Structure 1
Amino acid sequence: MKQRLGLAIVLFCLAPTIFAQQKAKQNAREDNASFMFTESQLNDDDDAAQSVQALVSSNNDVYLSNVGYLFSPMRFRVRGYDSQYNDMYINGVQFNDVETGRFSYGLIGGLNDATRNKEGISPFETNNFTFGAIGGSTNIDLRASQYSAGSKLSLSGCNRSYILRGMYTYSTGLMKNGWAFTGSAGYRWANEGNIEGTFYNAFSYFLAAEKVFNDKHSLSIATWGAPTERGQQGASTEEAYYLANSHYYNPNWGYQNGKKRNARVVNSFEPSAVATWDFKIKEDMKLVTSAGFKYSSYGTSALGWNGNASDPRPDYYKKLPSSIFNVYNDVPTPEQLEQFNEVTDLWKHNKAYRQLDWDLMYFSNQQANALDKETLYYVEERHNDQLAFNFNSVFNHTINDHSSYTAGIAVNTTKGMHFKKMKDLLGGVLYTDIDKFSVRDYGENSSIIQNDLDHPNRRIGEGDKFGYNYNIFVNKQSAWLRYQGKSGSFNYFASGKIGSTQMFREGLMRNGRAPLKSLGSSGTAKFLEGGVKAGLTYFLNGNHSFTLNAGYEDRAPLAYNSFVAPRIKNDFVNDLKTERVYGGDFTYNFNTPVVMGRITGYYTRFQNQVELEAFYNDNESRFTYLSMNGIKKEHWGVEAAATFRLTSNLSLTAIGTWSEAEYMNNPVATRTYESESESNPDRVYAKGMRANGTPLSAYSLSLDYNIKGWFFNLSGNYYDRIYLDFSAYRRLESVLTRDNDGSVDANGNLVGVTVPSQEKLKGGFMLDASIGKYIRLRNGKSISLNLSVNNVLNNTNMRTGGYEQNRDDTYDDGSMRTYMFSKNSKYYYAPAINAFMNIGYRF
């Protein structure tokens, strides 16, 4: 694997205080934490990227201010929560995607300097911008007056998803005429990243202006964007990794005319803007009103194939040696053994064999052209575009030194535009917009095969939309109120929230598999939301305190999960309800001259959750939707962190968490196919399955030393209890009882059938280190240098997660039995040794 390290220039904004060394270390760590979240993790598949959590949280919290940076290589999620439970605000306006609930970190990619001013809060922490999410909230301040006056230039080099980055930021500060302006521009690039076949090409910009009219009024406007094109890495099976002799084998690329080409390319651009009016009514009253706008263009390319064309993916299970015979149980024939050895040898010694064969796909299409037949291979681009408007207004009133309250309202309206278009016909000429699976089942003359009944047999060219085209509209309104006070040794708060959500689907194609349900409006689903929170803190003395928090919330289901088969029809999930979330935590905080930190125990229960899976069903050779609702989950555990001040220059930080996050029931399910209109009721035996893709146990021990502007850090991190994403399809009642004598008793329990267990991945250790220097120059100028190295010991065997493929343990492909299913799970691995170097100049 190539290891490339570039030299760079970066600048950290540091206040000239007696703690300059410590501040330099903090900013350097934050800069790299932002890098890890916005670039490194986004280079993986969409599912992997969804595990991103908030960049930082409260700086006064030893645990939350460290775990995001320390544990990011393993995609750590605080308390195992999905990122939909973490809210991101910009100037007080929430910018989470209302369809998925998640914040897209690509929205602010490469804008590390512009987004440095931020406030993070834990789930029950009081604040001045939100009711608060169960996973915490972060507010980024983009007001131009909040940036230090001057210029900041940086160039960065690393061997991660990109290898070079340049950024320049300039701010006037608040001038005498009441104006302030700030601008930032950056570029990130890699012809090939740390994973072979990937690349990175991204520009970013930020512009902000603010006018302070007087002591009472100011108006701020900011706009930003980060147009990005990047090639993705794909997960693969352990068999493929073994044959390729690398845990960083990437099946997404291949050679075309001798050059590398990636089939999975993301093109994203989300130009956004926010306007903020600050109104200081009185010394003790303030109103902050913001309006935000976002237009998101997000497309992901993927290979497609037609007719009798074979699956072009190099690691498709039928192309692996294991598909030839079952090495555990079968006695191979001489022919099978010869074929097994031949395929194994090709995989191990012929690099082109284990990659995509673009030249063969072009040749196949040319042959089809000559016979006036349909294009066999093509590249499609799947779009999830979005137009969103957000409004937020918050009123703060400090009644006296002992009490205050905050009230807020928020409105969101979003139009999600979902379609796919033909990106590249790969030299082909003829492509007709019909469903290939339906042709197999119903024949070429059936109306069922048409993707667009109003334009049957439409010929598709490059750039044309085809397959599916629909919009999802979501409107949300909410209001909240929080009161907080002090009385003797107690601090307390109580808050409430009420809101509503409306959603509907608008089909733009009349699909042949659902001619009466695909075109037009689905009708509107409406949900009433609300919640309450309360907390009490008892101060034993100035150094020790205890905090008890509790809360309950009703949340509307996400639009992303609310439709049974959104690409083809308008049907909502059966018995769709608001999700219920309740829980709390208990914390002991300590802050003495020698040690500071906290110990927290927490419990959270989720009810009425909905999940949707969409996948190609190898067993049944058709695209499948699997919707689960009525899901119950529990998350509970312990978090602990402490920083010990060993000397004035040396400190030791210990962090640990042990958590549990599991399904508590066997939810009902609906299985729907794109090749037929009916839906099939079922049940998924998911009880006992754990949250996946994040360590449920993580521990860290870090040494920090600073002297005369130098700072050093050494961190050892251990991760354990990481679980593979389980296949709901494999655990369907109909699948488990289909080919055996199993049955279900009156209580819904399986008899005579064992539910497949969830794979637990091995734990492991990583060592990280960093060194830096902050140099103060004359006239307020400064230089800072930082080198950080992650995974110093080059542990290349650390799995960060993965997923089971949606196939049975064994099934007959017509000639032989395949490997057991567990051998066909796909995995992600943590990055090998990697470094990031900065040299910065502020002037």
Structure 2
Amino acid sequence: MRKIKWIFFFMFISIYVQAQIETDTTQKVEKGNSGSESITVISIAELDGDEESADISGILQSSRDVFVSKAAYTFGPARFRIRGYDSENSSVMMNGVSLNDMESGRVYWSSWGGLNDALRNSEILNGITESQFSYGGIGGATNMEVRASSYSPTVKLTVSSLNRSYNQRLMFTYATGLMQNGWAITFSGSKRWAQEGYVEGSSYDAYAYFLSVEKKLNNKHSIGFIGYGAPSKRGKSSAVVQEAYDLAGTNYYNPNWGYQNGEIRNARVSNYHKPMFMLSHYWTIDDDTKLTTTASYMFGRGGGTALNWFSGNDPRPDYYKNLPSLYEDTNPDYAQYLRDDWANNVNRRQLNWDEFYQANADEYSVIENANGIEGNTYSGIRSNFMVEDRRNDSKKLNLTSTFNSRISDDVKLTAGVDLTNYKGDRYTVVDDLLGGEFYLDINKFVDRDFADPSMAQNDLNNPNRIVKEGDIFGYHYTANINKYMGWGQLSFEKPKDSYLSSRTRDEVVKDLTNEKIFSLDGNYVMNYPGFKLRLSAYYTLLMDRTWNRSFYDESLREFVSFTMTGLDQRNMGIEFGIEKEILTGLKINAVAAIGEYIYNSRAESVTTLDNIRKPLREQTVYLKNYYIGGMPQTALSAGMNYRTPFFMFIGFDINYFDRNYLPLNPDRRTEDAVAGIAPTHPDYDKVLDQERLPSAFTLDANIGKSWRIDYKYYININLSVSNILNNQDLVTGGYEQYRFTGSDIDKFGNKYYYMYGTTYYLNLSFRF
């Protein structure tokens, strides 16, 4: 039998080849950083709303690790990321099947949001450690066990009320356990909804479904089927400049919505549904050896809508030309008019949908040589304003096999193979012409700045292409990825940002280099009855990273792609967690995360324009010793909870966050950015400095009670309240705008997100 075990192991050793990984984001000219605070786009925590973080914390709180289980809940509202890692540095799996996105490597928890009860059986590994289900990553690994026979027999109904991204939730779960006939069935479903969430204009409509069926064939073999999905539509909010928050009179101002025929309509609505189906074979070779093989298929649509327009000023209310600060010096009377209009006119501070319809109605146009056909004339109402749907559809076929064996009391053998074929489809669709009859498929930025009309054509095969609702336009490309992975082998990864502009050109970054990761991780753990402790230290270098963003460049007056290569970062710090039962039922706890996450090198950048092959400029980006922004690098929490003998609990936490820096615009850390500004001028530091956000303090509490009736029925009620002090001035994140001008750095100010004020989550569940 031992020979068979080693044969299985060596069968699983192969080469690991995978495409795509993404990272977040002078001369001042590399500020010193010796632990001082002299200096200082968006992670998963910055997904609109907090429902994703709620699902994450629900899973991570099941961890037996004292730090992870505590930090998952208390640090979530501050957009905290464990060790400063992005989600692509962690592995998340379901029944051994990877759920990380094939293109970005990231984890999109909303793909199975609302399935809290079905996904509670999870094994969570923090940092670098051995795993029975995955090769793992520097950020750890999570495997959600969804085998039908692993669930205890139960029927559970949960009703929830809250005032966060959604207001109501219904959840139902039914599990038979393994029955005498060898069958096991588990079903779970939920609905979450809000006509308007905590932020004005942010609607929410989400469903979720889960089915796991297993048949035990004999004592050694079982087969199982798992299927799940979580269709959702959400009206999103956005970060805005502080001036817009102040003008609107609230730090939860949302510029994405407006009134249409008296009803709220949001221009940015995400619409996702990517279900997955799995067929598994479970083979118990002997008491110490198991082999699990799963074939899976994932497919579906992703994307979100956005307002688009061809000519004229940006219609969004928080656009810099719609704010009074631009006119304070040149036209103070008009600036005052704008302030008054912001305060009193909802159509000034929100989108004016009725105005878009009226503007389109006046745009009767005649298009010569339409659709590339000489002499073909097309006439009608041409939409100047429209809503587009930016799609990200995908299909993934996967075969995974995991082999686990206990060789002796002290030695465990784990191996596996992971074969994946993936196709990602990226394109834009005309969603709503807003009363118009057609839209012309040309690049509005190029059309404005180049005399040659052919350069503005998005489709060279069909110039002057007429598109209508449901038609694809702008860009359309496909990402084809094959992954062949055998555990225990050196890995090779091709960066996601390999292309200068994947939307418009088949051209890779010059001198592309493999990303390299070096990480050390040390832990001291104590687990005794009534006492838990973990102290960890880590040091990680991520080298030769590639970074790519597209934005409007104010100096070039063009929509450009900005790509950096040779970017290094260093993440180091300590984690501490302790829990002590000081009296029967009374526990105190404390957790601390103190890190330093910085860029560890300069980078080289290239700026390209969609319709010109030659790069517009190449330059050095002086990022060394700047902070990696987007999350607090210091997070502390202390709390107490008490469980009474009559099945009641109460607890509270005091939390503190500090050293949170805004994510950088790298273009502001170049010699061109400060050209013409004297080093002694205040604007010199203004361009180069990185904003450190104020420290934050919050107080949370929770209380709950359960009843057991006739030893058969259980009723549970619990209430959690976050930010009890209702502090609505806590900035949790944001970013420097990529659009800026050195002559007036305040013209395009930083944009911010604020932590919600007091929020509650009330759950009532019935179980039998």
TM-score normalised by length of structure 1: 0.81
Choose from 647, 659, 675 the match for 1:721. 659
Residue 662 of structure 2 corresponds to residue 657 of structure 1: no
Separation in 2 of the partners of 1:689 and 1:49? Answer: 27
CA contact (8 A) 1:437 1:675 kept: no
- Shift of the 566–41 alpha-carbon distance from structure 1 to 2, 3 Å rule, reads closer
Alignment-derived partner of residue 542 in structure 1:
none
Choose from 394, 408, 420 the match for 1:386. 394
- Shift of the 216–83 alpha-carbon distance from structure 1 to 2, 3 Å rule, reads same
SS in 2 for 1:658: strand
Alignment-derived partner of residue 688 in structure 1:
625
- Shift of the 101–141 alpha-carbon distance from structure 1 to 2, 3 Å rule, reads same
Choose from 430, 436, 439 the match for 2:444. 436
Residue 253 of structure 2 corresponds to residue 253 of structure 1: no
Task: Give the alignment of 1:183-582 within 5 angstroms.
Answer: 183-307=187-311, 309-325=312-328, 332=329, 336-369=331-364, 374-443=382-451, 446-480=453-487, 496-499=488-491, 529=492, 556-559=493-496, 561-582=497-518
SS in 2 for 1:677: strand
SS in 2 for 1:261: strand
Per mean C-alpha deviation after superposition, the further-off stretch among 774-783 and 410-419 is 774-783
SS in 2 for 1:497: coil
Separation in 2 of the partners of 1:151 and 1:591? Answer: 33
Separation in 2 of the partners of 1:567 and 1:611? Answer: 15
SS in 2 for 1:438: helix
Separation in 1 of the partners of 2:712 and 2:57? Answer: 35
Separation in 1 of the partners of 2:182 and 2:711? Answer: 24
CA contact (8 A) 1:45 1:232 kept: no
CA contact (8 A) 2:635 2:656 kept: yes
Separation in 1 of the partners of 2:301 and 2:127? Answer: 31
Separation in 2 of the partners of 1:420 and 1:808? Answer: 27
SS in 1 for 2:489: strand
CA contact (8 A) 1:50 1:102 kept: no
- Shift of the 370–611 alpha-carbon distance from structure 1 to 2, 3 Å rule, reads closer
Separation in 1 of the partners of 2:71 and 2:613? Answer: 47
Q: Which has the higher contact order (CA 8 A, sep 6+)?
A: 2
CA contact (8 A) 1:294 1:389 kept: yes
SS in 2 for 1:729: helix
Matching residue's letter, 1:608:
D
Separation in 1 of the partners of 2:699 and 2:179? Answer: 46
SS in 1 for 2:690: coil
Once the two structures are TM-superposed, the CA of residue 45 in structure 1 deviates from its matched residue by: 11
Separation in 2 of the partners of 1:685 and 1:446? Answer: 38
Once the two structures are TM-superposed, the CA of residue 373 in structure 1 deviates from its matched residue by: 6.4
Choose from 120, 126, 130 the match for 1:122. 126
Residue 710 of structure 2 corresponds to residue 778 of structure 1: yes
CA contact (8 A) 1:790 1:833 kept: yes
Once the two structures are TM-superposed, the CA of residue 322 in structure 1 deviates from its matched residue by: 0.7
Matching residue's letter, 1:824:
G
Separation in 2 of the partners of 1:72 and 1:773? Answer: 25
Once the two structures are TM-superposed, the CA of residue 736 in structure 1 deviates from its matched residue by: 3.3
CA contact (8 A) 2:495 2:515 kept: no
Once the two structures are TM-superposed, the CA of residue 109 in structure 1 deviates from its matched residue by: 1.0
- Shift of the 566–103 alpha-carbon distance from structure 1 to 2, 3 Å rule, reads same
Alignment-derived partner of residue 8 in structure 2:
none
Alignment-derived partner of residue 672 in structure 1:
608
Matching residue's letter, 1:315:
D
Separation in 1 of the partners of 2:103 and 2:754? Answer: 29
CA contact (8 A) 2:59 2:122 kept: no
CA contact (8 A) 1:410 1:478 kept: yes
Once the two structures are TM-superposed, the CA of residue 761 in structure 1 deviates from its matched residue by: 0.1
Residue 172 of structure 2 corresponds to residue 168 of structure 1: yes
Per mean C-alpha deviation after superposition, the further-off stretch among 51-60 and 132-141 is 51-60
CA contact (8 A) 1:771 1:787 kept: yes
Once the two structures are TM-superposed, the CA of residue 124 in structure 1 deviates from its matched residue by: 2.2
- Shift of the 49–66 alpha-carbon distance from structure 1 to 2, 3 Å rule, reads closer
Choose from 734, 738, 750 the match for 2:672. 734
Matching residue's letter, 2:184:
A
SS in 2 for 1:820: helix
Separation in 2 of the partners of 1:463 and 1:415? Answer: 21
SS in 2 for 1:721: strand
Matching residue's letter, 1:477:
Y
Once the two structures are TM-superposed, the CA of residue 597 in structure 1 deviates from its matched residue by: 0.6
Separation in 1 of the partners of 2:758 and 2:306? Answer: 30
Matching residue's letter, 1:460:
V
- Shift of the 265–449 alpha-carbon distance from structure 1 to 2, 3 Å rule, reads same
Matching residue's letter, 1:455:
N
CA contact (8 A) 2:667 2:673 kept: yes
**Residues 228-265 of structure 1, C-alpha deviations (whole Å, 9 max, x = no match):** 11100111111111111111000111111111110000
Matching residue's letter, 1:790:
S
Alignment-derived partner of residue 836 in structure 1:
761
Per mean C-alpha deviation after superposition, the further-off stretch among 683-692 and 294-303 is 683-692
Separation in 2 of the partners of 1:272 and 1:422? Answer: 28
Structure 1 gap segments, 5+ residues each: 1-37, 326-331, 481-495, 500-528, 530-555, 743-751, 812-817
Separation in 2 of the partners of 1:192 and 1:185? Answer: 22
Alignment-derived partner of residue 764 in structure 1:
696
Matching residue's letter, 2:647:
G
CA contact (8 A) 1:796 1:832 kept: yes
Alignment-derived partner of residue 510 in structure 1:
none
SS in 1 for 2:688: coil
Once the two structures are TM-superposed, the CA of residue 319 in structure 1 deviates from its matched residue by: 0.7
Alignment-derived partner of residue 820 in structure 1:
746
CA contact (8 A) 2:100 2:107 kept: yes
- Shift of the 638–753 alpha-carbon distance from structure 1 to 2, 3 Å rule, reads closer
Separation in 1 of the partners of 2:429 and 2:648? Answer: 53
Matching residue's letter, 1:218:
S
Separation in 1 of the partners of 2:490 and 2:190? Answer: 41
SS in 2 for 1:43: coil
CA contact (8 A) 1:600 1:640 kept: yes
**Residues 258-295 of structure 1, C-alpha deviations (whole Å, 9 max, x = no match):** 11110000011111112221111112211111122211
Task: Give the alignment of 1:634-649 within 5 angstroms.
Answer: 634-649=570-585
CA contact (8 A) 2:56 2:72 kept: no
SS in 2 for 1:646: strand
Separation in 1 of the partners of 2:55 and 2:765? Answer: 31
**Residues 659-684 of structure 1, C-alpha deviations (whole Å, 9 max, x = no match):** 00000111111111124232232222
CA contact (8 A) 1:57 1:119 kept: no
**Residues 297-328 of structure 1, C-alpha deviations (whole Å, 9 max, x = no match):** 11211111113x22111000111011113xxx
**Residues 331-372 of structure 1, C-alpha deviations (whole Å, 9 max, x = no match):** x46xx1211111111122323311111111111111113895
Separation in 1 of the partners of 2:73 and 2:468? Answer: 46
**Residues 371-417 of structure 1, C-alpha deviations (whole Å, 9 max, x = no match):** 95642111111011111122221111211112221111112221110
CA contact (8 A) 1:41 1:49 kept: no
TM-score normalised by length of structure 2: 0.88
Aligned-pair identity (%):
38
Once the two structures are TM-superposed, the CA of residue 755 in structure 1 deviates from its matched residue by: 6.2
Number of residues of Structure 1 aligned to a counterpart in Structure 2: 707
